[in-house]
């Protein structure tokens, strides 16, 4: 069981250690060779932070609904969903995360209860419960709410088969929620992110029908490219039969390891095929990103000074500007 207390960010802890041990970190930094990999990385991160400093993101004219999807597991779908949502909410946007993965990992990362007794997105899809009765605020990030997933979703694929308008149930729930927020005097949602399971069942189809944009995280490894073509065929099928407004608007390269030629080759190939969709921001492999969910946090609150947090801030800013 992870500890309840939130740890101090790594960079802050390291800075404190340096201050106590030496009284000043500057002498150490001055000894770094300007051409060394560490010095280059520090200089690069400093420039990136400077570009983001004081940047004000403009709100979209209408609510943007993203489905975060990839049929391949382990590519960073949930991590991307919660961290971009947290980054946008921290910038003043009103953000909703809908977790429709039975594993409930997005709910965990946002610190939302999702045991079997909690009302969840299952009740919305199967029992027609209003979305406003299900959403819960994220304890660490203002302006961010989440509709959690519970283990009951594991059987929802079968239960949805016999229901009327089974592909449109999530879309209808989101539309009704927008009306309920307006009537309650709450601000309009700026972004909705739907975290999907790694499959094309009725849960994912519901997500595709509810969204206007698809965000595809792609792991910078060879197998990731194999699954991408099948995913695009499935999206094309949804466009043709169920949601003509759906489009692949954003592709984010994740788990990038700059030390390998393969990562660079995969990144170059994806950029060549999808020049307009691929974000300039790239998310590196990061221990801090991996650790954050065990403390029921996003990396944005767990270690806001980390490289991973910086990368997701850049990605969120790019998405907001598109």
Label residue 204 by pLDDT band (50, 70, 90): very high
Q: What percent of the chain has pLDDT over 90?
A: 64
Q: What angle do CA 235, 238, 239 make, to 5 degrees?
A: 85
* CATH code of the domain in which 218 resides: 3.40.50.300
User: Is 213 in contact with 72 (CB distance < 8 Å)?
Assistant: no
SS3 105: helix
- Helix H or strand E segment including 14: helix 10-22
Compute the mean pLDDT over every residue in the chain, rounded to the nearest whole number.
86
Does 29 fall in a domain? no
Does 31 fall in a domain? no
Does 133 fall in a domain? yes
Does 90 fall in a domain? yes
pTM (predicted TM-score): 0.85
Which has the closest alpha carbon to 271: 263, 261, 78? 263
> What is the mean predicted confidence (pLDDT) over 75-98?
95
Q: Is the pLDDT of residue 9 over 90?
A: no
Domains in the chain, number: 1
Full residue range of the structural domain in which residue 271 is found: 59-321
Distance CA 212, CA 267 (A): 25
Does 18 fall in a domain? no
pLDDT digits (tens, 9 = 90+) for 160-201: 999 988 999 999 999 999 999 999 999 999 999 999 988 888
Q: Is the pLDDT of residue 44 over 90?
A: no
Does 33 fall in a domain? no
């Amino acid at each position: 069981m992870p500890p309840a207390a939130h740890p101090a960010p790594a960079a802050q802890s390291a800075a404190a250690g340096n201050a106590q041990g030496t009284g000043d970190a500057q002498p150490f930094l001055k000894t770094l060779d300007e051409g060394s990999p560490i010095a280059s990385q520090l200089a690069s991160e400093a420039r990136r932070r400077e570009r983001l400093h004081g940047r004000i993101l403009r709100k979209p004219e209408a609510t943007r609904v993203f489905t975060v999807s990839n049929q391949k597991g382990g590519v960073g779908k949930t991590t991307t969903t919660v961290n971009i949502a947290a980054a946008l909410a921290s910038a003043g946007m009103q953000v909703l995360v809908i977790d429709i993965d039975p594993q409930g990992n997005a709910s965990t990362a946002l610190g939302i209860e999702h045991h079997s007794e909690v009302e969840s997105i299952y009740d919305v899809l199967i029992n027609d419960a209003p979305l406003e009765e299900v959403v819960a605020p994220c304890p660490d990030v203002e302006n961010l709410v989440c509709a959690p997933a519970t283990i009951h979703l594991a059987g929802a694929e079968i239960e949805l088969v016999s229901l009327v308008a089974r592909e449109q149930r999530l879309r209808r729930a989101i539309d009704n929620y927008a009306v309920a927020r307006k009537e309650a005097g709450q601000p309009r949602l700026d972004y909705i992110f739907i975290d999907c399971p790694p499959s094309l069942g009725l849960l994912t189809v519901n997500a595709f029908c509810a969204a206007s944009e698809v965000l595809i995280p792609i792991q910078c490894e060879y197998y990731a490219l194999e699954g991408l073509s099948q995913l695009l065929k499935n999206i094309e099928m949804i466009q043709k039969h169920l949601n003509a407004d759906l489009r692949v608007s954003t592709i984010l390269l994740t788990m990038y390891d700059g030390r390998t030629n393969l990562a660079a080759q995969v990144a170059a190939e994806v950029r060549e095929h999808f020049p307009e969709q691929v974000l300039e921001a790239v998310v590196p492999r990061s221990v801090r990103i991996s650790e954050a969910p065990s403390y029921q946090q996003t990396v944005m609150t767990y270690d806001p000074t980390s490289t991973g947090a910086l990368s997701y801030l850049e990605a969120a800013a790019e998405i907001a500007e598109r």
